[in-house]
Amino acid sequence: MRELSIESGQRNFVLPVGLCSVIDKENGGDTTAEELVGRFNLLDFESRNVIDFYFLGWSKSPEPSKDIRFDLTAFEDFQLRLRDFGIPIFGGNADLILVDAEYSAEKVTLNFPEAIRIDLSS
């Protein structure tokens, strides 16, 4: 968000963030979860100027043949932290949590009390 602040010349702004809680196929993810993971690069590219997406528990793969890889332990850690912030439910396959990120005084604050959780599989 610091880079966006520099690019836009704005010191304070709000940007929507999409937190994707998505399980991989090996851990029981359904077709919706698979499809979302498969579109990671497209989502990231197409939405870059509108919303910032993060796939919780996923990271860039060191293998050139794969785009991203899933870490169940990291995913579980994110789910526990979300509960701390008032988002207790996980649908089990693919959830999208929309939350506003406020950038002010070089600090980012996520507005979890106003977050919206969508179970994409249902």
Q: CATH no. for residue 47?
A: 3.40.30
Q: 16 versus 46: which is more confidently predicted?
A: 16
Structural element, H or E, at residue 31:
helix 31-38
Report the range out of 3-7, 25-29, 39-43 with the highest average pLDDT.
25-29
Question: Per-residue pLDDT averaged across 30-52, rounded?
Answer: 84
- Count structural domains, the chain: 1
Token pair 């996520």 is found at 110
Which structural domain range is residue 18 located in?
2-119
pTM: 0.85
Of 62, 56, 90, the residue nearest 75 (C-alpha)? 56
Percentage, residues of the chain above pLDDT 90: 55
